[in-house]
Every structure is written in structure tokens, then in C-alpha cells.
Amino acid sequence: MFGHDYASTRFSPLTQINVRNVGKLQQAWVYHMKKDDSPAAAGQPNGDGRMRNSEATPLVVDGVMYLNTPYNTVVALDPGTGKEIWSHALGDQMNASERGVGYWPGDKAKGWPAAIIFGTTDGRLVSLNAMTGEPTAGFGDNGAVDLKAGLMNEDTKTRSRYNVSSPPTIYKNLVITGAEVQESPEKGMPGDVRAWDAHDGRLVWTFHTVPYPGEEGNDTWPAGAWKNRSGTNVWGFVSVDTERGLVYLPTGSPTYDFYGGDREGMNLFGNTLLAVHADTGKLAWYFQAVHHDLEDYDLESAPILFNVKHDGKTIPALGFTSKSGMVFILDRTNGKPVYGVNEVPVQASVIPGEKRWPTEPVPVKPAPLGLQHYDPATDGVSTVTPEHEAYCKNMVENSDPAPAGATPEEAATHGPMVGGGPFVAIGPRLTIQFPGTLGAVNWHGMSYDPQLGFLFVNVSNLADVGKMVKNPRDPDPPYIRTSPWGAYARFWEQQKFWRCQPGLWGELMAINVNTGDVAWREPFGIVPELEAKGVSGTGTLSYGGAIATAGGVIFIAGTMDEHFRAFEAKTGKVLWDIKMDTGAYVVPMTYKAKNRKQYVVIVDTGESYYNRSYGDSVIAWALPDAEPAADAKKE
């Protein structure tokens, strides 16, 4: 499964590739996902001529690799050679979820075969026979269930956004799904989490992420404001405590992301880690990481389960992070913080009708990741080159001048940018929010090494820039966020994607869960143009996470420089570093094939928020044939 195990550790027990030999890795095979770009194939599932990006991580089960491609297919490959075993075409209007597929081992007692199960971009849940790639007989309608059925309401008169962006979590015979829904307007398709029977696709349970009347949390909404509310959805990854039968669900923001005048209150279960009983969907406990979110600080990455040794006790714990850059370590039996959490006062809103929650939770330990506050008036701008410094100063000072003839009141809504932190009150002036909506960390989250007790996380120091104005087109919502560069603007040089604040732009770090302290941190990634000028150590943006191995190595790509690297888990030392053809903005994986060789594989397609190169490769690396024999027998 994605994350390797129900605890979502992304930790492999394989040791054939280790700190001593990882530098000898060689490319073993390449599989190209795009089959045909000829004009004659235009409009066909694999041949519309466009290159497309993928965020998928393959699965390897019983000697077969399973992968969804961005070209409307799901494929099975030989993980030792990359040769295709089968390919299933989904059709022009349907593609598999962005980040991978799930695997169900089947039910031999009842004669059900193993299945590859995944959501789609048009809101279906699909089951394919793992051996043949054909739709699973008896599952839904010809192997598919319509996830939108029963969710439409009076606020979805036009087709609302509803798709599945991450692989489902399959526990026992249950397929647990979240969904990706709209960012705006406020009302629309719900973000409910549901469980389905893996045999036939029958709905087993539903958890209302915006509570109905009589359900816990409904009183955190004004009367009627809960009804048909969109957002509060699990669009990322789910973890399971199999010993306790608890499923941990990280939710996103309620809609609309940046204005909540119609939803005064804490707005449960938005931006909340939920623990529900896997068999029934009943609530066990919850922890809200952002109250009444106005920053789009979704929880989306998988909570990681581990044990913490603290104050002479072993505590069954979990850790999770979000776009805000906060890392919360909780007792996974009850949701209580292990190292403490303070409710910190935040700025009140200045937007009419908006009543912000007065405090936000900030953990005592670990310290927040990355930059948490920035003010250009006192902190200055980046000085990596004179040209970049001039660009950033001009961006701060002159991006939003008052129009000629403006009244004093109008002029007050224009002028130089103002700075802030994660919970700055964004008003009518252009405001820098740190971190921004891409987050200090996004869906890729963290990985964990149980041998060291270290969490590994890559952090981007990137801010958003925006202001709140009256909605000129629609009273729903009455205020919207905008800027000279659109609603989701970044504080960077627009063409180069170089950040405009001073200091590190990207980091990779390890956190010791037994102390809550940072074990090591290093700049992550390079900017070749700056390196050529003698400017090093800036780090870069990264989008895509790490895996850890028992060989003492962590593997991670994701950087703007399009490199794939291996680090020593204990120290952060770089052990292997290659430049790829395009960037890989995904989570890699590792496995041992039937030939007893350990491989590391990554989907390398380029294209992200800051990269426009494209590819279609799945690439595997392994040690030279003479290398693995010594360690192979130990695994």
C-alpha cells in the first residue's frame, strides 16, 4: 500500500541497498507510460498528444508492479524488467486518481480474486482483477461504483467538482475513500468519508465530516450553516491502527477557504485529525489543528504511527503535519498531545462579517517547520543577485499602487505589501502570508525510521501574497482573495520561481520523536544558476516526499533542480545524487523482485507548480550484478 504499511511509515525493511553501496546504484530499466502520440491517435486514451504529469507511487505485490498512468490507463509491470504484463484503458473521460492505486488480496474463502481498487477523476470507484486487469465481476456496475450517487443536493444544480485524488485505504474487506471537492463556493458536494465492501462495492458506512444535527460538532456551526457545506474533505492519505481498529482521517478546510463570515465558530471537523472505528465509522476522538480556517491550511498528508519513549513510558503515538508547518505528536489512543500544545492568540479579522476564532493551536514540541513570520520592512528581501533583489523590492513596494484620484479610504487599500505569519489577518492591503497555500509541507508529508526514531520531512519556505476584496461578480462568497497575479499568488520572482524573502528556500530535516527536537537539518536542493555565480546553500522548493530504509538510507526527489538523491538517515549526508531528465514530484518506493535484487523506482514526469518540463518515465535503479549477493541472504 502507499506508505508501505498501515502506519504510513514509508519505511522499507530491505537492506541490500545501504549506506555503504548506495553510491553504486545504476539505472536498471525504464517504462514509458505514454504509448502513442501520433496524430492518428488524437483523442484516444493514450494518444491525445499532450504530455501529462503524475504524482503516483507504484505498488509491488507478489512480484507484480501496479501503477496508474496519467494517460487513462492502469498497468501491471514486471518489477524486475519493467515489461508490461497487462494494461487496462479507462476511456477518454475517466482517469485514475493522481497518486496511486490500492490493493485488496481478495477473499479466497468466498472465491473473490485479488483486486486493484482506485478512485477516478470523474468520481467513481473501480475494481480490476489483479491478475488480468479486467473489471472485477460482481463489483458495482461492471467493476465500478458511482461515488457521486446520493451526494447531490440543491446546492449542486450544476455539476460540482468531485473526484478521488489519492489511493483508497483498504483495511480487511473495507475500501475507505475520501474525495477532492471544490474550493468555492461555500455550498456543494460534501467531503464525507465512506467505506465500501471490497467484494461488491456496497456502501458500509459514512462519516459526516461536517456533522449533522445531533452529531458531535454540529454546534460549532451557526444554525443551518452546516447544511450542504463543501470542503472538510480527506483528499490525502489515511492511516490505520490495526491493533485498535482505528482509522485516522486528516481533513481539509471548509469552503470558502478564505472567508468564513457565514460559518462563525470552530467549524468541526475542518482541518481536523479524526480517529474513527474502522468497522463502523463511529467517532473515537478528534484533534482540530486549525480553528475556523481562513488560510487553506489543509491536513492532507498521512498521519504516521510510532511509539514514543517519554518520561520513562512508551506511548503509542502518531505524528502529522499540514500546510501550516506545525508537527503535532499525539497519543493515538486518545488524541492528547505528548509534548503539549498552546492555544496562541491570533489577529482578529478586519473583513466585514468575518469573526475569526481568537486562538490557534501551536505545539510546544516539535518547533514549527520552516519560516513562520516575515515582514519586508524589517527583514528585507533576498539578495542572491542584485537583479533579484531589485525585482523583489519592486514587488514589495510597487505591485499595488493606488489609482489616480483615489480617495483616502481607497488609497488605504493600496500600497506596499505588509508581512505576516501563518495566521495573519489578511485585509484589503496586499499581505504576505507565511507559509502559503502550498504549505511548508504538502500532501507528501513525512516518513519515519523506527530504528532511529526519526521523522523525515522536506520543507519549502514559500509565502502567498493576497488581499481580500468585495466579490465583483457574485455575493457567494461576498469577499474573495485576489492579487495582481490571481487568487493563489506566491511571493517569488514570477518567471524564475526564486523566493523573495532572505534565508533558506528549502530544507530537509529529521525530527527525533522521543525528544521532539530536530536531529539534523540541511539545505535541500540547489539553484544551478546561482551555483554558477558562487551562491550556494539556498535550497529550493520541493514537492514530493521521502522514503526510509533499514539500510540507513532515505531516498527523495521533488526539488526544483530535478535531482534524485539518497541521504544517510542518521546524519543527513548526501550519499547519491543524480540529475534526471525532468523533475519527479512524487514519493519514490523500493522493493525486492523475484530475482532477489532490491530496486528503487520513481515516476518521473516533471510539471509542478514551479517546473514546466515534461516526461513519461517510470525509472528503476539497482546495484550492479556483483554487488547485492552479500546482503541478499540476510533479508
Q: What's the confidence (pLDDT) of residue 252?
A: 97
Query: Percent of the chain scored above 70 by pLDDT?
Result: 96
pLDDT digits (tens, 9 = 90+) for 353-388: 999 999 999 999 999 998 999 999 999 999 999 999
Instruction: Report, as an integer, the average pLDDT of 416-422.
Output: 92
506, 459 contact by CB (below 8 A): yes
pLDDT of residue 229 exceeding 60, the answer is yes
Instruction: Flag the least confident range among 9-18, 180-189, 444-453, 516-525.
Output: 180-189
Q: What's the confidence (pLDDT) of residue 36?
A: 65
| Listed residue (579, 446, 462) closest to 518, CA to CA | 446
pLDDT of residue 458 exceeding 50, the answer is yes
**Which neighbouring-strand residues pair with 313?**
310
* Cα–Cα dist 466/434, whole Å: 11
Instruction: Report, as an integer, the average pLDDT of 183-201.
Output: 94
| Listed residue (544, 565, 583) closest to 447, CA to CA | 544
Q: What's the confidence (pLDDT) of residue 45?
A: 47
Q: What's the confidence (pLDDT) of residue 627?
A: 67
What confidence category does residue 155 fall into, taking pLDDT thresholds of 50, 70 and 90? confident
Residue 376's alpha-carbon distances to 435, 460, 500, 615, in angstroms, are 15, 19, 9, 38
59, 66 contact by CB (below 8 A): yes
pLDDT of residue 203 exceeding 60, the answer is yes
Instruction: Flag the least confident range among 64-78, 96-110, 546-560, 621-635.
Output: 621-635
* Cα–Cα dist 275/307, whole Å: 17
Q: What's the confidence (pLDDT) of residue 362?
A: 97
Helix (H) or strand (E) holding 393: helix 386-398
Q: Residue 399, Cα to own-chain centre: how many angstroms?
A: 31
Strands (E), 101-156: 102-104, 115-119, 124-129, 144-146
Show the DSSP H helices in 269-385 as ranges: 376-379
Instruction: Report, as an integer, the average pLDDT of 91-97.
Output: 83
| Listed residue (211, 305, 298, 286) closest to 254, CA to CA | 298
Q: Residue 588, Cα to own-chain centre: how many angstroms?
A: 14
* Cα–Cα dist 287/272, whole Å: 6
251, 291 contact by CB (below 8 A): no
Q: What's the confidence (pLDDT) of residue 420?
A: 87
Q: Which residues contact 352 (CB under 8 A, 6 or more apart)?
A: 261, 479
pLDDT of residue 106 exceeding 60, the answer is yes
| Listed residue (290, 310, 306) closest to 298, CA to CA | 290
| Listed residue (244, 237, 133, 251) closest to 191, CA to CA | 251
565, 545 contact by CB (below 8 A): no
pLDDT digits (tens, 9 = 90+) for 549-574: 999 999 999 999 999 999 999 999 99
Return the CATH fold of 11-213+372-632. Answer: Methanol Dehydrogenase; Chain A (2.140.10)
Q: What's the confidence (pLDDT) of residue 159?
A: 54
pLDDT of residue 526 exceeding 90, the answer is yes
Q: What residue segments make up the domains of the chain, in order of their start?
A: 11-213+372-632
DSSP secondary structure, 99-110, as one string: T--EEE--BGGG
In the DSSP assignment, the letter for residue 387 is H
What confidence category does residue 152 fall into, taking pLDDT thresholds of 50, 70 and 90? confident
Give the dihedral of Cα atoms 157, 160, 163, 169; nearest 10 deg.
-70
* Cα–Cα dist 426/351, whole Å: 8
28, 79 contact by CB (below 8 A): no
Helix (H) or strand (E) holding 629: helix 629-632
Q: What's the confidence (pLDDT) of residue 613?
A: 83
Kindly report the backbone phi and psi dihedral angles of residue 93, in degrees, each rounded to the nearest multiple of 5, phi listed first. -95, 0
Q: If 0-12 CB within 10 Å is exposed, 13-18 middle and 19+ buried, where does residue 279 land? A: middle
Instruction: Report, as an integer, the average pLDDT of 223-238.
Output: 95
Mean per-residue pLDDT of the chain: 93
Strands (E), 475-597: 479-482, 489-490, 492-493, 498-499, 506-512, 517-523, 546-549, 553-556, 563-568, 574-579, 589-592
Q: What's the confidence (pLDDT) of residue 630?
A: 47
Q: What cell was used for 115?
A: 483486486
pLDDT digits (tens, 9 = 90+) for 300-353: 999 999 999 998 999 999 999 999 999 999 999 999 999 999 999 999 999 999
pLDDT digits (tens, 9 = 90+) for 477-518: 899 999 999 999 999 998 899 999 999 999 999 999 999 999
Residue with cell 472538510: 232
Q: Which amino acid is at 252?
A: G
pLDDT of residue 170 exceeding 80, the answer is yes
Q: If 0-12 CB within 10 Å is exposed, 13-18 middle and 19+ buried, where does residue 587 land? A: buried
Summary count for the chain: helices (H), strands (E)? 5, 42
- HEC string of 315-347? EEEEEEECCCCCEEEEECCCCCECCCEEEEECC
Q: What's the confidence (pLDDT) of residue 634?
A: 47
Strands (E), 120-255: 124-129, 144-146, 162-163, 169-171, 174-177, 180-181, 193-197, 203-207, 239-241, 246-250
pLDDT of residue 635 exceeding 50, the answer is no
Q: What's the confidence (pLDDT) of residue 628?
A: 55
* Cα–Cα dist 413/419, whole Å: 15
Instruction: Flag the least confident range among 110-124, 434-448, 621-635.
Output: 621-635
DSSP secondary structure, 222-244, as one string: -TTTTTTB-B----S--EEETTT
Q: Is the dihedral of CA 244, 105, 587, 631 positive or negative?
A: positive
What confidence category does residue 156 fall into, taking pLDDT thresholds of 50, 70 and 90? confident
Kindly report the backbone phi and psi dihedral angles of residue 298, in degrees, each rounded to the nearest multiple of 5, phi listed first. -55, 145
Q: What's the confidence (pLDDT) of residue 633?
A: 47
Count of residues for the chain? 635
pLDDT digits (tens, 9 = 90+) for 31-60: 999 976 544 444 444 455 678 999 999 999
Residue with cell 514486471: 78
